[in-house]
């Protein structure tokens, strides 16, 4: 279904007549006599959403001619562009490469025809039906429980989630290439789907709260190894970690690094790395200074400028000379200074005489 959604999006429409199928299992639950098929409920909902009909070919030799040159064209594409097998890191990289190949295929001519593939497609594009307003939700909904290692198990593979969900059931949308984890209606994390079984994918950010209380576990954690492999944990992080451990000790130095890693949740990665560089050059390992320098780097790169809060000017400062007009700062204004003047309260003070009478009454049986 994900392949259908991507194909309809790239084509810019839906075929109006029908689409031929070789009795694929996700769509056909049972092959009956002739072309009669028992379709799965999810496939019927998918076809109804996009409004197309399915033409099921006869199985075996009887229906070999009904598929046209589809299998031959698939073999030609594989031999021309996928031999040898492409060396890519992720499925997204492979899909991006195939999209580039498809663009180049538009100039190809089939059997010495006078028009190219791209020209013929542009001619037939108006025959497609328009896409629906919303895409069909192709994800399979699951509700796994987060174990004590802050992981969920989906199709015999493990994926990390934030540590605050330990012991809870989370909603998961399992897709062809990704695993979406929800907190109610908000997406918490999107993991690339793992192939095979018994694999795992951890994100270091999901364990920072736990590692702050147990800093000794950071060095051998799988999250740190994954961050190094992906390039998110740079040599600048290692240099800051080493300097912090030398200045503050192993435990406190590691906590300082974790405080810096928490900044990645609010600031861009490049800005935090620039902040660590500036602090290391100044001979400090303070996470607060890293946050300040990161915001300055973000402002220099065109982001929102940092707000500098200064106390109100005193009489001594006014006597020293006029304020520098080039310095932009925000003055702290207390709430009473902003509160409008209220009219005096002329109501009489409340009387407590009735409460005094109640205190004078003694309970029955008391001396």
Q: Is 274 exposed, middle or buried (0-12, 13-18, 19+ CB in 10 A)?
A: buried
pLDDT value at 254 more than 60: yes
pLDDT value at 311 more than 70: no
Question: Which residues fall within 8 angstroms of residue 200, CB to CB, at 6 or more apart?
Answer: 151, 157, 158, 159, 160, 194, 222
Q: Using pLDDT thresholds of 50, 70 and 90, give the confidence band for residue 246.
A: very high
Write down the pLDDT at residue 243.
Answer: 95
**Of 39-48, 173-182, 212-221, 310-319, minimum mean pLDDT range:** 310-319
In sequence order, what E strands does 120-203 have? Answer: 140-142, 151-154, 157-160, 171-174, 178-183, 186-192, 200-201
If phi > 0 it is left, if psi is from -120 to 50 it is alpha, else beta; for residue 124 that is alpha
Write down the pLDDT at residue 72.
Answer: 85
**CA–CA dist 335, 174 (Å, integer):** 51
Query: Bigger pLDDT: 146 or 65?
Result: 146
Average pLDDT over residues 28-32: 84
Question: Which residues fall within 8 angstroms of residue 134, CB to CB, at 6 or more apart?
Answer: none
Write down the pLDDT at residue 113.
Answer: 87
Average pLDDT over residues 66-89: 87
Q: Is the peptide bond before 84 cis (omega within 30 degrees of 0)?
A: yes
Write down the pLDDT at residue 307.
Answer: 52
pLDDT value at 223 more than 90: yes
> All domains of the chain, ordered by start, with CATH?
2-127 (no CATH), 140-201 (2.40.50), 207-300 (no CATH)
């Amino acid at each position: 279904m994900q392949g259908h959604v991507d194909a309809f999006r790239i084509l810019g429409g839906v075929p109006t007549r029908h689409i031929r199928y070789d009795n694929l299992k996700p769509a056909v639950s049972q092959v009956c006599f002739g072309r009669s098929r028992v379709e799965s409920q999810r496939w019927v909902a998918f076809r109804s959403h996009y409004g197309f009909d399915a033409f099921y070919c006869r199985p075996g030799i009887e229906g070999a001619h009904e598929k046209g040159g589809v299998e031959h064209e698939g073999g030609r594409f594989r031999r021309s562009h996928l031999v040898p097998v492409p060396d890519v890191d992720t499925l997204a990289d492979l899909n991006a490469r195939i999209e580039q190949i498809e663009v180049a295929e538009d100039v190809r001519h089939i059997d010495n025809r006078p028009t190219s593939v791209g020209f013929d497609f542009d001619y037939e594009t108006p025959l497609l039906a328009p896409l629906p307003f919303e895409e069909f939700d192709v994800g399979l909904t699951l509700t796994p429980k987060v174990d004590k290692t802050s992981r969920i198990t989906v199709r015999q593979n493990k994926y990390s989630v934030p540590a605050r969900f330990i012991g809870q059931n989370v909603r998961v949308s399992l897709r062809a290439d990704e695993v979406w984890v929800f907190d109610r209606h908000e997406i918490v994390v999107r993991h690339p789907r793992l192939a095979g079984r018994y694999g795992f994918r951890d994100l270091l950010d999901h364990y920072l709260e736990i590692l702050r209380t147990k800093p000794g576990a950071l060095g051998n954690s799988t999250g740190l190894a994954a961050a190094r492999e992906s390039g998110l944990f740079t040599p600048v992080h290692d240099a800051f970690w080493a300097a912090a451990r030398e200045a503050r000790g192993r435990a406190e130095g590691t906590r300082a690094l974790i405080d810096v890693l928490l900044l990645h949740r609010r600031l861009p990665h490049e800005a935090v790395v620039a902040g660590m560089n500036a602090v290391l050059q100044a001979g400090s390992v303070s996470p607060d200074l890293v946050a300040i320098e990161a915001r300055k780097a973000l402002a220099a790169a065109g982001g929102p400028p940092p707000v500098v809060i200064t106390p109100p000017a005193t009489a001594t400062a006014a006597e020293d000379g006029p304020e520098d007009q080039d310095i932009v700062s925000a003055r702290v204004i207390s709430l009473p200074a902003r509160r409008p003047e209220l009219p005096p309260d002329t109501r009489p003070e409340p009387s407590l005489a009735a409460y005094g009478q109640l205190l004078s009454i003694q309970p029955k049986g008391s001396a």
